[in-house]
Chain A
Amino acid sequence: MTDSLTALVSRFGVTAPAWLWLLPLALLPLAASAQRRIPVPSLAMVPADGLSRLVDAVLTLAGVAAIGFLVLALAGPHLVGENLVRTGEGAQISLLIDRSGSMNETFAGRQPSGPEESKAAASRRILEGFVGRRAHDLVAVSAFSTSPMAVLPMTDRHDAVRAAIRAIDRPGLEATNVARGLGLALAQFGPGAPQAARVLLLVSDGAAVIDRRVQPLLREEFAKTHPTLYWLFLRTAGSPGLGDRPGGEDTPQAAPERHLDLFFKSLGVPYRAFEAESAQAVEEAIREIDRQERKPISYTERRPQRDLTGFAYGLAALAMGLLIAGKLAETDLATRTSASRPAASRETRRAA
C-alpha cells in the first residue's frame, strides 16, 4: 500500500514548476475567510459544538484545497510515464508477412472474384483471430516485399496489432525479398526477456534466393535470438511444394522454396513449415502454433504520461462548491444596520 503510494508520488511531476511558487497562497484561508464576520461581545457565550468545528475544518480545508489545486492545475500536474514489467502466458511473436503482388491472388492463382478470397485476405482473417485469442502475447508485425517494412514494434496492444494485420490485404507490390524481411523480423525481438518463448511466423506464398553473403549474418542472428520458426507457406495450387525437387538443376534459383526450407532446417532452431493450400489448411496451421507456444513470459510495457490537470481542476471545483455552499448557508444576527445614534439620545440631551 505504502509502496504503491510512494511509487505514485515518485512518478508525480509538473510541467511548469514556476507556478508552484504561488502555493503559499493556499495558506490564506487559514487567516481569512469569505464569510462575513459578525462581531460578538464574547466567544465564551457560544457553546462548544462538534459539528460546528467539523464544518469549520471542512470549509477551511476546502479553501486551502481550492487555492492549492488551482495553483497545482496551473502548473500542469501529471504522472510521468513508466515501464512496467508484467508476466503472462504467451510468447513473443514476430509476424513476418509477405506483401508481394502474388499475395493478392487466390489460392488458385487467380485474381479474386465473387466469394473467393485472396491469400492476403485469408491470412488476414485467420491471423486476426490468432492474435485476439491470447491476452499476453507480445506481437510485432513486419511486412516485406522488395524491402522490409516495420509495421508495428513488439507490443501487447492487440487492437493495434489487429489493425496492422487488417492492413495486410491492401494490394501488395513487386517481388519477394525474404532475407531482409527475416533480418527485420528478428530485430523486432529486441534484447529483453531472454527466457520468453519466441516465435517467428513467416507468412508467404513463395520464396526468393537468399544471397550467400547474407546467409552467415542471418544464421548469427537466429543463433542469438533463437526463435521457434514457423513458415506458413501459402502454396498456390499447382506450384512446387517444399519437398519437390525441380526437374532440371537443383539450384536455389530453380526451386527457391525448397532451398529456403533447407536453409531454415540448417539454422539449428526449432523449425516447422506448414504448406497450406487452402484457407482451412492455414487455419489448422495457426491452431497448431497456438497449441505449442505457451510459456510464461515477462515483458515490459510503457505506460504513457497521464495528465492530471483536469483532475486538479475538478478537485478545486469541488472545494469551491463546498465554499459556495458555505457562503449560501451564511446567515446573520438580527442586527440593526443603521449606525446613527438613536433619536432618543438627542431628545434627552435637549431636555438636559
Chain B
Amino acid sequence: MTGDILYRLRGPAAGPGPGAHRSREIGGIGVFRDQVPFWRHPDARRIDLRATLRDPFEGTVVRRFEERRALEVWALVDLSASMRFRGTGVTWDLVTELCIALARSATRIGDAFGLIGCGAGPDLMLPASRRRGTADVVADRLAAIRPRGTSADGLLTAASSLAGRRKLVMVVSDFRLPEALIGALFARLQGHDVVPVAIEDGALDEGLPAFGLIELEDLEGGGRRRVMMRPSLRTRWLAREAERRESFRRLALRHGRPPYRLADRFDGDDFSRHLLWTAA
C-alpha cells in the first residue's frame, strides 16, 4: 500500500501555479483542448498546419492546450472536546492519520496543504505550504494539541478565512453539531470543493450493548446520564443515529459532496475511492 490519497477537484482547478490538476487555464503544453482562429490566440508556435490548409476560408488555426494547475488542499479540523472520544477507534488518532496522509499526498504532487483546527475559536493554524516536510510539521502540531473546545463555533470564522481561489477543503469533525452551524459552515465554504469527513465509531453504532446500565458523560460538559440499555432502546438509538446521518448526508449533498464516514480505522485507499467517485 502506497498510502497515497488520490483526489480530484470537482470542476477545474484554479491553483496558484502549474501542477497536477485539470484547469480551465490555457497553456503551452498539456492535453489538447480545442482549435481557435489565430486572432483569438495569437501563438505562432501552435499553428495547426493541417487544419489551416483544410480551412475553406483560408483562416489560420491555432491549437490550444489545457494547462494543469496546482491546488490548495485544506483540512478544517474540529477541535471540540468530543473529538477526544475513544471507542473502537481513537477519534483523534484517526484525525491525525488522515491529516498526515493528506499532507503527504498533496505535497508529493506539488499541491499545498494547509490545516486549521478550531474549537470555540481557531486554535491551530498551519498556512498552506508545498514544502516536502509539511507532513512532519502537521504530525508534530497535531500530536501537541488536545481537543478541548466546548463548541465548534470557530469553524465558521475559519471558513471565512478560506477565501479566494477554489480549494479542496476537508471538513473533519464528528458532526455532532447543531444542524444550523453545519449549514452555515457549508454556506461559507460555498466557493470551494468541500469534502465532509464524519468521524464515527463502531462502539456508538453496531457495538452498542443490548443490555446493561451505562453512565454516559458528555465530553463537552453536557453533564452525565445513566442509561438502562435494552434491545428496544438500542433499536431506537440506532434509528435516531441513522436518521441524523441521513439528514446530514442530505445537507452535505445540497452543498456538494456526500460525507465520507471515517469509522474505527483509517483506510487511505477507501478514502481515495470516495474522493474520486464523488468528484465526478
Q: Would A52 and B228 count as touching, CB distance under 8 A?
A: yes
Given contacts A40-B219, A351-B3, contact A333 B93 (CB under 8 A): no
Interface membership of chain A positions 23-44, coded 1 if the CB is closer than 8 angstroms to chain B and 0 otherwise: 0000000000101111111111
Q: Does A212 count as interface, using CB distance less than 8 angstroms?
A: no
Q: Would B226 and A35 count as touching, CB distance under 8 A?
A: yes
Quick one: closest A residue to B224, CB to CB? A37
For this complex, into which size category does the number of interface residues on chain B fall?
35 or more
Q: Would B212 and A329 count as touching, CB distance under 8 A?
A: yes
Q: Would B228 and A49 count as touching, CB distance under 8 A?
A: yes
Interface membership of chain B positions 1-24, coded 1 if the CB is closer than 8 angstroms to chain A and 0 otherwise: 001000000000000000000000
With A and B bound together, what is the CA distance between A56 and B213 in angstroms? 10
Given contacts A35-B213, A46-B237, A344-B97, contact A334 B203 (CB under 8 A): yes
Q: Would B225 and A52 count as touching, CB distance under 8 A?
A: yes
Q: Would A38 and B236 count as touching, CB distance under 8 A?
A: no
Q: Of the 9-residue stretches B68-76, B81-89, B185-193, B247-255, which lies at the interface with chain A?
A: B81-89
Q: Would B100 and A345 count as touching, CB distance under 8 A?
A: yes
For this complex, into which size category does the number of interface residues on chain A fall?
35 or more
With A and B bound together, what is the CA distance between A339 and B84 in angstroms? 11
Q: Does B176 count as interface, using CB distance less than 8 angstroms?
A: yes
Given contacts A45-B176, A333-B208, A334-B88, contact A39 B217 (CB under 8 A): yes
With A and B bound together, what is the CA distance between A348 and B226 in angstroms? 40
Q: Does B181 count as interface, using CB distance less than 8 angstroms?
A: no
Q: Does B218 count as interface, using CB distance less than 8 angstroms?
A: yes
- The residue that A333 contacts in the complex, of B89, B207, B223, B225, with Cβ under 8 A, is B207
A330 to chain B, nearest CB (A): 5
Q: Does A244 count as interface, using CB distance less than 8 angstroms?
A: no
Q: Would B237 and A45 count as touching, CB distance under 8 A?
A: yes
With A and B bound together, what is the CA distance between A89 and B213 in angstroms? 60
Q: Would B97 and A348 count as touching, CB distance under 8 A?
A: yes
With A and B bound together, what is the CA distance between A59 and B228 in angstroms? 11
- The residue that B225 contacts in the complex, of A46, A326, A345, A352, with Cβ under 8 A, is A46
Q: Would A332 and B176 count as touching, CB distance under 8 A?
A: no
Q: Would A40 and B217 count as touching, CB distance under 8 A?
A: yes
Q: Would B3 and A348 count as touching, CB distance under 8 A?
A: yes
Interface residues of B in 213-254 (CB under 8 A from A): 213-220, 222-230, 233, 236-237, 240-241, 244
Quick one: closest B residue to A333, CB to CB? B203
Q: Does A238 count as interface, using CB distance less than 8 angstroms?
A: no
Q: Does B35 count as interface, using CB distance less than 8 angstroms?
A: no
A15 to chain B, nearest CB (A): 37
What residues on B are CB-neighbors of A342 within 8 Å?
90, 93, 97, 265
Q: Would B216 and A43 count as touching, CB distance under 8 A?
A: yes
Q: Would B227 and A41 count as touching, CB distance under 8 A?
A: no
What residues on A are CB-neighbors of B88 within 8 Å?
334-336
Instruction: Enumerate chain A interface residues (CB-CB to B < 8 A).
Output: 33, 35-47, 49, 51-52, 55-56, 59, 326, 329-336, 339, 341-342, 344-345, 347-349, 351-352
Q: Which 5 A-B pairs have the closest CB atoms?
A: A331-B212, A352-B135, A41-B82, A334-B207, A35-B215
Q: List 23 A-B contacts (CB under 8 A).
A: A37-B217, A37-B224, A40-B216, A41-B91, A41-B219, A43-B218, A44-B222, A45-B241, A47-B236, A47-B240, A52-B226, A56-B225, A329-B212, A330-B215, A331-B211, A332-B212, A342-B265, A344-B97, A345-B100, A348-B101, A349-B100, A349-B135, A352-B103
A45-B204, A330-B213, A333-B208 are known contacts; what are 18 more A-B pairs with Cβ within 8 Å?
A: A40-B85, A41-B220, A43-B223, A44-B222, A47-B233, A49-B227, A49-B236, A52-B228, A56-B226, A333-B207, A334-B202, A335-B86, A339-B86, A344-B265, A344-B266, A347-B3, A351-B3, A352-B103
